[in-house]
Amino acid sequence: MELSELQKIWNTHSLKVAENTKINKRILKEMLIRKPSKTINWIKLKAIYQLIAGVVILILFFKDVKLRDPGLGLYIGITLLALLLLFSFIRGLKSVMLLISINMANPILIVKGTLLKFQKYKLSTMRYNFFITPPSFLAVILLTPIQFYQQQIILPILFFMLVYVIFSFYRFKFINEEFDNLNRQLAELEHLEE
Give CA–CA dist 126/88, Å, rounded. 10
* Per-residue pLDDT tens digits of the chain, which is 194 residues long: 677 887 888 888 888 888 888 888 888 878 888 888 888 888 889 888 888 887 787 777 677 666 666 777 677 777 877 888 888 888 888 888 988 888 888 888 888 888 888 888 888 888 888 888 777 777 777 777 766 666 677 777 778 888 888 888 888 888 888 888 888 888 887 777 66
Instruction: Give residue 154's pLDDT.
Output: 73
pTM over 0.75: no
Give CA–CA dist 122/131, Å, rounded. 14
